[in-house]
Amino acid sequence: MSTPKGIPSVDLSEFLSGDSAKREKFVKELGSAYEGIGFVAVKNHGISKELIDRLYDRIQQFFALPEDTKKKYDIEGIGGQRGYTPFGKEHAKGKSAGDLKEFWHFGQFVEDNDPIKKEYPDNVNVDEVPDFLSTGKEAYKTFEDTGRHLLRAIAIHLNLEEDYFNPHIHNGNSILRPIHYPPITGEIEEGAVRAGEHEDINLITLLVGASADGLQVLNKNNDWISVTEIQDHIVVNVGDMLQRLTNNKLKSTTHRVINPPKELLGTSRYSVPFFLHPRSDMRLDCLESCIDDKHPKAYEDITAGEYLMQRLREIGLIKDEE
């Protein structure tokens, strides 16, 4: 079993073992990685291979549908929060060239009469693909559970109560995003890549599998490190919301998906990240424990909802009139 150069590996089963020494070891390793590169590879993460394979099968069926069929699932006026987002619509912050990808969004499934349900658009089923929505829901809930465990460990590392994040992520605005990077044929816009260099908006991102190489992360020496699929691991990175909350103590690392070599331009790439977001009313004001003379407060006070809308406008998914 291997991990990519520069990306530490941690074992979630140690944290869940009930053994205090193993829990302490996990928290220390996770915290060190997130203060350093901001990425870790996690094994024993609780997401079964059967579920991963089934999810990839369903999303590949969807992206293989005719363009006109897919576009009927492109819902106007909701900033791509649910359903289909066509090829080239999203771009990295500060970039004008659209990313060379199309994607789908599954959002929160509120099932406990929480009033927050009115904030979320309904999830969308695909009539042409059997079990599409039910498979997406199962994956969403499983990713969410794994993310909750990781945030408990992060809270301990930050000297917070272990359940600090729990009320903030209960029915949070998380997104499961199956992505298709189609074959690259013909001329493309100058500077266009499969996903331009960026940082994620959310608290943490969980990435399970990818059908081809291409993901790279930027380390502290400004070197790009390639992250290949790692057997039995998922990759989990810090997002901007967590970096902001911790006043830059935990690092939201820049990453990108580069175009394949010439001989592989005609191939597709698929990946499925889970962007773990809190509820919109969570305060992202810098934690007092992360502010001192050497680390003055770096960010203005803001809620998660306000920050998300700001960032969605920056990447082109929401226009001012929406």
Structural domains of the chain, with CATH:
9-314 (2.60.120.330)
Where is pLDDT greater, at 149 or 88? Answer: 149
Categorize the per-residue pLDDT at 260 as very low, low, confident or very high, splitting at 50, 70 and 90.
Answer: low
Q: What's the pLDDT score for residue 22?
A: 98
Q: What's the pLDDT score for residue 5?
A: 52
pTM for this entry = 0.87
Instruction: Identify the CA nearest to 197 among candidates 215, 181, 182, 212.
Output: 215
Reported as a single tens digit per residue, the pLDDT across 199-257 is: 889 999 998 865 446 677 777 777 787 776 567 888 899 999 999 999 999 999 887 77
pLDDT above 60 for 179: yes
Reported as a single tens digit per residue, the pLDDT across 59-117 is: 999 999 999 999 999 998 887 889 999 886 654 455 444 567 899 999 999 999 999 99
Q: What's the pLDDT score for residue 89?
A: 62
When the pLDDT of each residue in the chain is averaged and rounded to a whole number, the result is 86
State the residue for tokens 């220390």: 28
Q: What's the pLDDT score for residue 79?
A: 76
Long-range contacts at 49-57 (CB < 8 A, ≥ 24 apart): 51/135, 51/138, 51/139, 51/142, 52/139, 52/208, 52/209, 54/131, 54/135, 55/135, 55/136, 55/139, 55/178, 55/272, 56/209, 56/211, 56/270, 56/272
CB 204 within 8 A of CB 263: no
Where is pLDDT greater, at 315 or 275? Answer: 275
Of all residues in the chain, what percent carry a pLDDT higher than 70? 83
Instruction: Identify the CA nearest to 76 among candidates 67, 89, 63.
Output: 89
Provide mean pLDDT across the span 273-281. Answer: 96
Q: What's the pLDDT score for residue 320?
A: 55
Q: What's the pLDDT score for residue 2?
A: 44
Amino acid present at 167: P
Q: Which of 10-19, 178-187, 304-313 has the largest mean confidence?
A: 10-19
Reported as a single tens digit per residue, the pLDDT across 128-143 is: 999 999 999 999 999 9
What is the spatial distance between Cα 295 and Cα 93, in angstroms, rounded to a whole number? 26
Report phi then psi at 165, rounded to 5: -80, -15
